[in-house]
Chains A and B, each alone.
Chain A
Amino acid sequence: MILKGALGVLLTLVIIAAFALPITPQPQSWLEFPLIPGLEEKARIIFFHVPTAWLSVMAFVTSMVFGIRYLRKRDMMDDIRSSSAAGLGLLFCILATATGAIWAKFNWGSFWNWDPRETSIFVLLLIYGAYFSLRSAIEVEEKRATLSSVYSIIAAVTVPFFVFIMPRIMTGLHPGAKGDPDGAGPVIEFKMSPNMRVVFFASLIAFTLLFVWMFTLRVRAARLESHLQAKG
């Protein structure tokens, strides 16, 4: 209850801070963000786009953890947890792709540029889309749970490569690409000021709490569903 209240207040404050604090070339106070040449007002996307991508990674890892647990204990609840996490991961992955594509249209000129990070998130969408195709193709519960647990482990092993390694060893448009160890992009100089960092990390915490809440709701609903099915 306290966490839910904290989430409500925190994310509301993050949204207000992310939009209302002015961006000026020479910030005079702590309540002003510095202007980043090439980004201007569009810099505000970082407070929402990055947390959605972060959540999808966290959800895919959660899916793998419960996949492993299912294979060890054979408890159907772990399969429910694993697939619920993968579903939320896919949802946030789609949100990260959509928010990024809209932003890219106005900053890079087109919705899709096949930048390494865009390519890798596209492959991740395919991988986790295939996870749900696999689940829907198998009717026997145990078999479905076992195969999708194995798949979730293999899929999650590819996630660090696609999210953290591949976009960093290749040149691209996103900050943090090759030849850009400090996180300053090849297209623009991008470094977050201390006050931007506070809003950014507050946003990461708020989105993480939101994920935990949505995840527990999905698991509880799925558990009720399986109870009702068991009763017939």
Chain B
Amino acid sequence: MEFLAEHQLYIVMIIVVGIWLGLYVYLFRLDGRIRKLEKESRHES
């Protein structure tokens, strides 16, 4: 923690990495859901 208090830029880095990973997981899951719907839609027609 002392290291982070001295080097505050790393806190910004951790936050940005967190936002990016959150966005990435969201996009990944959205991709999976759309694929599932596409399969169902193809199956029905």
Which A residues are within 8 Å of any B CB, using their own CB? 4, 7-8, 11-12, 15-16, 19-20, 41, 213-214, 217, 220-221, 224, 227-228
Contacts and interface: CB of A to CB of B under 8 A. Distances in A.
Given A15-B13, A19-B12, A19-B13, A217 B20 contact: no
11 contacts: A4-B28, A12-B20, A15-B16, A19-B12, A19-B13, A20-B10, A20-B13, A213-B31, A224-B37, A224-B41, A227-B41
What are the 3 closest A-B residue pairs judged by CB atoms, nearest first? Answer: A19-B13, A220-B34, A15-B16
A217 B13 contact: no
B40 to A, nearest CB: 9
A7 B24 CA distance: 9
B9 interface: yes
Contacts, number: 41
Contacts of A16: 13, 17
Interface of B: 9-10, 12-13, 16-17, 20-21, 24, 27-28, 30-31, 34, 37-38, 41, 45
A220 B12 CA distance: 34
Contacts of A15: 13, 16-17, 20
Nearest to B16: A15
Nearest to B34: A220
Could you tell me the dominant secondary structure of chain B's interface residues?
helix
Contacts of A11: 20, 24
Nearest to B28: A4
A4 B24 CA distance: 9
Given A20-B9, A41-B9, A214-B27, 9 more contacts: A12-B20, A12-B21, A15-B13, A19-B9, A19-B10, A19-B12, A220-B38, A224-B37, A228-B41
A221 B34 contact: yes
A226 B9 CA distance: 46
Contacts of A4: 28, 31
B17 to A, nearest CB: 5
